[in-house]
Structure 1
Amino acid sequence: MAARGPLTGGCLCGHIRFEAEGEPGKPHTCSCRMCQRHTGSLTVSWVEFPKDKVTWTGPGGAPATFRSSAMSSRAFCPKCGSSLGAIDDAPVVALVTGVFDKPALVALKPVAHSFKGQRPRWWHVDAGG
């Protein structure tokens, strides 16, 4: 399902805000250790946009970054610490779906899961409880 108009979102305190134009690409979840440590969650949900389709609109401008690998930097708010995503050297901005103003949009629905084997064995929905 197509996203209509720019998708907007931001950090917990509102210091970092963004608008993302176009269709979100590669909607997926990831359970790698880097994503776990970046977000504090066992699994994170992501979507990607070309770098030139993401505009940082909040009073803080672009997020702070931490170089996390040879090809990417993790993005976060320098005031409240919220994880926002990753800014890759390939001209891509990957945003975690929880920071979108409307995170339940079908356009953000993951279609794949990366590093499923790095989830703890107990990580599953317990139908009994």
Structure 2
Amino acid sequence: MAEDMSGGCACGKVRFTARVANDEAYLCHCRMCQRATGSISIAFKNMPKSDVTWESEPDWYQSSPIAQRPYCAACGASLGFEFPDSEKMDLTVAAFDDPSRFRPIHHFGAESLHRNWLNTEGLPEYRTEEHQPLVDRWMKAVGKLPD
């Protein structure tokens, strides 16, 4: 069943509502996405452009001769990817206010995939609130930990 889901950038300048029909998402590992996001991979939700409403418009970066990417010029958050001549686009899973609904169904750009980063099962896990120097910084700055 389709559901309206909201999202946006880190600072709140750019906001969107997306009509999400299913839980399927994917991980892109291509070098263009790695460079555009500064990350090993990026999780995307592919959907019709007509199902995305920008409450406040993003900035757009022409990332190649064939594609562009919405982002926030104020905080730098990467918000997606699109071919201008396509009826579909990708939104970054992490840009949704509640990304927990989504699950990856495939990898794309596998030629640039870094296998060491795929299965991190068994690595030590640390919670933010357990790192006292960071907690102290937040408490001094704003009196609480971020959401």
The DSSP-based 3-state class of the residue aligned with 2:34 is helix
Give the aligned partner of residue 97 of structure 1: 93
Would the alpha carbon gap of residues 103 and 127 (structure 1) be closer, same or farther in structure 2, given more than 3 Å must change?
closer
Residue 71 of structure 1 and its aligned partner are, at CA, apart by 2.8
CA distance in 2, matches of 1:28, 1:86: 13
Structure with the largest fraction of helix:
2
Detail structure 1 runs of 4+ shifted over 6 Å in the superposition. Answer: none
The DSSP-based 3-state class of the residue aligned with 2:57 is coil
The DSSP-based 3-state class of the residue aligned with 2:97 is coil
Q: TM-score, normalised by structure 2?
A: 0.73
Q: Which of structures 1 and 2 has the larger relative contact order (alpha carbons within 8 angstroms, sep 6+)? A: 1
Give the aligned partner of residue 112 of structure 2: 118
Listed one character per residue, the Cα deviations across residues 8-27 of structure 1 (whole Å, up to 9, x for unaligned) are 10000000000011415862
**1:7-22 alignment runs, 5 A limit:** 7-22=5-20
Give the aligned partner of residue 63 of structure 1: 58
Contact 1:19 1:54 (C-alpha < 8 Å) held by counterparts: yes
CA distance in 1, matches of 2:113, 2:48: 29
* RMSD over equivalenced CA pairs, Å: 2.0
Would the alpha carbon gap of residues 92 and 25 (structure 1) be closer, same or farther in structure 2, given more than 3 Å must change?
farther
Aligned-pair identity (%): 35
CA distance in 2, matches of 1:36, 1:22: 25
Do structure 1's residue 75 and structure 2's residue 70 form an aligned pair?
Answer: yes
Structure 2: tracts of 5 or more residues without a match: 124-147
Over alpha carbons, which structure has the higher Rg? 2
Amino acid at match of 1:104: S
